[in-house]
């Protein structure tokens, strides 16, 4: 771990403070660059940020073409299986129908897994290739290519807005949530899923944690910080989980591999750890320290 050091950066989107406390160094797991990134704790609000600051145009170079899942068109069976966690979360929130917008929809796998007879499906996606794949599956007029704030949907247009692994990618999380609140009907639900910055995996691996995914992930939220942000944006959190079949064990496996595999002497230890990955993660998720945080929040009535 890098020794904490005081520094400054571009102002935090959440509190406007530039001062940060340096916590960890981190490298791009996709090896797009040799740039050394670091994770800093905002001196104002305490949220973790990826630094140095990068504009949207700069970040675009760090997303390979297959990052959004546009290659090798999968079967519907695979799509349904890959989205099972999300559908179970909807069921737990008693959300079974309505007009839904998936922000950062990628190739539209979540939307494709929804029953089109019960859900009126829309998506927003910045990747042109992924948006086109979603458009072909969902409908040409239902997928907007660009950011949520650029989409300019009508006020109170949706019953549900989802941000599955999306909020952490933006440099403007506060503006994103404000726009989500504007386009949600009063009483509508927002669902946010992202890596849990209070997880045992971050504490164990620090800057080598797979789910940090620098520099693509710009802000890293603990449950308390995310709920505070949601409350300030006009939402009332009502359900949350810390387990994801799709993400938790995978992040742990990849983090262990990055730490143990490079040295021949620790490769055996990596193989010995594999049977323990799922049981350990299930236990830590039950204790509220799981690697993936998913929160449902209800849009408050407007005054």
Is residue 148 domain-shared with residue 225, that is, in the same domain? yes
Residue 102: pLDDT band by 50, 70, 90 thresholds? very high
The answer to whether residue 278 is domain-embedded is no
The answer to whether residue 265 is domain-embedded is no
Residue 188: pLDDT band by 50, 70, 90 thresholds? very high
The answer to whether residue 279 is domain-embedded is no
Residue 303: pLDDT band by 50, 70, 90 thresholds? low
Is residue 52 domain-shared with residue 171, that is, in the same domain? no
Range of the domain at 173: 65-245+292-299
Prior bond to 215 cis, omega within 30? yes
The answer to whether residue 266 is domain-embedded is no
Report whether pLDDT(2) > 60.
Answer: no
Phi and psi at residue 43, to the nearest 5°: -70, -15
Please compute the mean of the pLDDT values over residues 97-114 and round it to a whole number. 97
Please compute the mean of the pLDDT values over residues 218-235 and round it to a whole number. 97
What pLDDT score does 4 carry? 36
What pLDDT score does 69 carry? 58
Is residue 46 domain-shared with residue 128, that is, in the same domain? no
The answer to whether residue 131 is domain-embedded is yes
**269-290 tens-digit pLDDT:** 999 999 999 999 999 999 999 9
Residue 66: pLDDT band by 50, 70, 90 thresholds? confident
What pLDDT score does 273 carry? 94
What pLDDT score does 5 carry? 44
Query: Domain tally for the chain?
Result: 2
Is residue 44 domain-shared with residue 141, that is, in the same domain? no
Report whether pLDDT(94) > 50.
Answer: yes
Report whether pLDDT(129) > 80.
Answer: yes
What pLDDT score does 1 carry? 37
The answer to whether residue 231 is domain-embedded is yes
239: domain CATH number?
3.40.50.150
Residue-averaged pLDDT of the chain = 93
Residue 8: pLDDT band by 50, 70, 90 thresholds? low
Please state the three-class secondary structure of the chain as a single string. CCCCEEEECCCCCCCCCCEEEEEEEECCCCCCCCCCEEEEEECCCCCEEEECCCCHHHHHCCCCHHHHCCCCCCCHHHHHHHCHHHHHHHHHCCCCCEEEEEECCCCCHHHHHCCCCCEEEEEEECCHHHHHHHHHHHCCCCEEECCHHHHCCCCCCEEEEEEECCHHHCCCHHHHHHHHHHHEEEEEEEEEEEECCCCHHHHHHHHHCHHHCCCCCCEECCHHHHHHHHHHCCEEEEEEECCCCCCHHHHHHHHHHHHHCCCHHHHHHHHHHHHHHHHHHHHHHHCCCCCEEEEEEEECCCC
Task: From 59, 83, 104, give the residue that closes a domain.
Answer: 59
* Alpha-carbon distances, residue 94 vs 91, 156, 180, 245 (angstroms): 5, 20, 20, 20
Please compute the mean of the pLDDT values over residues 78-90 and round it to a whole number. 96
Is residue 54 domain-shared with residue 107, that is, in the same domain? no
Query: What strand order describes the sheet that includes 143-145?
Result: 143-145, 119-125, 98-103, 158-164, 184-195, 292-299, 235-241
Closest CA to 37 of 9, 76, 13: 9
Report whether pLDDT(253) > 60.
Answer: yes
Locus of tokens 């009508």: 154
With a pLDDT cut of 70, the percent of the chain lying above it is 95
Rounded Cα–Cα distance for residues 183 and 226 (Å): 20
Report whether pLDDT(115) > 80.
Answer: yes
Tokens matching residue 150: 């650029």
The answer to whether residue 280 is domain-embedded is no
**143-183 tens-digit pLDDT:** 999 999 999 999 999 999 999 999 999 999 999 999 999 99
Report whether pLDDT(200) > 90.
Answer: yes
Residue 197: pLDDT band by 50, 70, 90 thresholds? very high
The answer to whether residue 282 is domain-embedded is no
Is residue 11 domain-shared with residue 123, that is, in the same domain? no
Phi and psi at residue 296, to the nearest 5°: -105, 135
Is residue 98 domain-shared with residue 204, that is, in the same domain? yes
């Amino acid at each position: 771990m890098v020794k904490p050091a005081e520094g400054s950066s571009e102002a935090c989107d959440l509190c406007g403070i530039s001062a940060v406390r340096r916590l960890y160094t981190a490298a791009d797991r996709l090896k797009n660059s040799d740039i050394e990134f670091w994770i800093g704790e905002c001196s104002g609000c305490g949220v973790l940020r990826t630094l140095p600051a990068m504009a949207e145009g700069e970040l675009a170079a760090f997303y390979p073409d297959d990052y959004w899942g546009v290659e090798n068109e999968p079967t519907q069976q695979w799509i349904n299986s890959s989205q099972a966690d999300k559908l179970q979360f909807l069921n737990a929130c008693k959300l079974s129908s309505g007009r839904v917008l998936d922000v950062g929809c990628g190739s539209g796998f979540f939307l494709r897994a929804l029953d089109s007879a019960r859900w009126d499906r829309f998506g927003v996606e910045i990747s042109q290739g992924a948006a086109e794949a979603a458009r072909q599956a969902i409908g040409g007029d239902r997928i907007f290519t660009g950011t949520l704030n650029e989409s300019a949907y009508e006020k109170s247009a949706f019953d549900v807005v989802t941000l599955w692994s999306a909020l952490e990618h933006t440099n403007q999380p506060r503006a994103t949530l404000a726009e989500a609140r504007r386009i949600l009907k009063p009483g509508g639900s927002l669902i946010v899923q992202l890596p849990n910055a209070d997880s045992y995996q971050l504490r164990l691996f620090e800057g080598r944690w797979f789910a940090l995914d620098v520099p693509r992930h710009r802000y890293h939220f603990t449950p308390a910080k995310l709920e505070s942000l949601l409350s300030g944006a006009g939402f009332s959190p009502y359900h949350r989980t810390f387990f994801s079949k799709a993400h938790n064990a995978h992040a742990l496996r990849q983090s262990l591999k990055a730490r143990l595999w490079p040295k021949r002497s620790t490769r055996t230890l990596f193989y010995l750890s594999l049977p323990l990955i799922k049981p350990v993660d299930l236990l830590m998720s039950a204790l509220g320290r799981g690697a993936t945080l998913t929160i449902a929040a209800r849009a408050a009535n407007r005054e």
